[in-house]
Amino acid sequence: MKNLNTLSIIIVNYNAKELLRKCLKSVFDKVKDIDFEIWLVDNASSDGSLEMIRKEFPKVKIIANKENVGFAKANNQTIKKADGKYIFLLNPDTVIFDENFEELIKFMEEHPEAGACGPLVLNGDGTIQRQCKRGFPTFWNSFAYYSGLWKLFSKNRWWRKNFGGYFLLSKPDNRICEVDQLSGAALMVRREILGKVGLMCEDYVMYWDDTDWCFRIKKAGWKVYFVPLVKIIHYGGAGGVQLHALKNLWYFHRGAYLFYKRYLVSQHSFLINFLYYSGVWFAFSLKLLFNLFRREKIIGSKKPT
């Protein structure tokens, strides 16, 4: 009988060679006293990532795609092959901060009702990355998020409760708590849930796939926890992501539309749904124009005089 690992770490990479090297080094340096395997899914990188992995980290199991199939599909490829009791999705632009990673495993072992948990995710400057502790998007949460209202008076208790629902500002950042959703940059799930919940939804190329998965996990009766005992740095917007900024902008807002249409549209009136959809596409249009203007300005500044 095959001996199963306690943990399967899955990393989806696209042209993030240097950050990926730091990520893998942190895994091998920091993950102690746990039987684990690492799977690397490469989405047709052209920066020598695969050569680096084979040379410097021969223990890593590799799936080399001939094209970029997206985040969700690449993870699903590996989840089907991995044999860990727990599956941990980890972005290549992350670094495990300290040597107590086993606290996540310990938490899952002590809380059988937990279908998923996630660590405290920090930005490169040490501030919290809000995406690691979130509520599900509602019309009001989304309005406060897209408009920026959530952060105007974020230190006020009443304001946090009424305008900070998407990022759960009313819940402390340094305590274990039940949440709605976690960041796909560092997300641990119990293999047992797959039979009831299924794999990640491949309708999302990237972004919102973690939201969709957490939604289905909770809908199936499991709980989702934020466990800040473990810290991970997520540099974000690095590697292949920054190479296709406009395309990724589309993926994000398309994901917001798909999630709402799939799970929330039936809960609201036509007017509320119209306002939500209008807000999503208005936000997309503004960001698109801003990015196009910025790109034009950068290109213009490089012209010889």
Diameter of the chain measured on Cα atoms = 71
Task: Give the side-chain half-sphere CA count within 13 A for 133.
Answer: 24
Among the ranges given (6-15, 60-69, 296-305), the one the predictor scored with the smallest mean pLDDT: 296-305
In the structure, what pLDDT confidence band is assigned to residue 304 with cuts at 50, 70 and 90?
A: very low
Predicted local confidence at residue 299, as pLDDT: 43
The C-alpha atoms of residue 191 and residue 178 are separated, in whole angstroms, by 19
Whether 1 shows a pLDDT value over 90: the answer reads: no
User: In terms of DSSP H, where are the helices of the chain?
Assistant: 17-30, 49-56, 71-79, 102-110, 139-147, 157-163, 194-197, 209-219, 245-263, 270-301
Nearest to 134 by CA among 183, 90, 94, 176: 183
Which band of pLDDT confidence, cut at 50, 70 and 90, is reported for residue 29? Answer: very high
pLDDT tens sequence across 66-91: 999 999 999 999 999 999 999 999 99
Fill in the amino acid letter for 128: I
Higher pLDDT: 265 or 40? It is: 40
CA-CA distance, 40 to 275, in Å (whole number)? 41
More reliable by pLDDT, 279 or 238: 279
| pLDDT tier for residue 21 given thresholds of 50, 70 and 90 | very high
Q: 233: left (phi > 0), else alpha (psi -120 to 50), else beta?
A: beta
Question: How far apart, in whole angstroms, are the C-alpha atoms of residue 183 and residue 167?
Answer: 11
Please answer whether residues 168 and 134 qualify as being in contact, where contact means their C-beta atoms are separated by less than 8 angstroms.
yes
Q: What angle do the packed helices 270-301 and 139-147 form, to 10 degrees?
A: 20
Q: What is the pTM of this model?
A: 0.90
What's the chain's length in residues? 305
Model pLDDT for residues 164-205, shown as the tens digit of each residue: 888 999 899 999 999 999 999 999 999 999 999 999 999 998
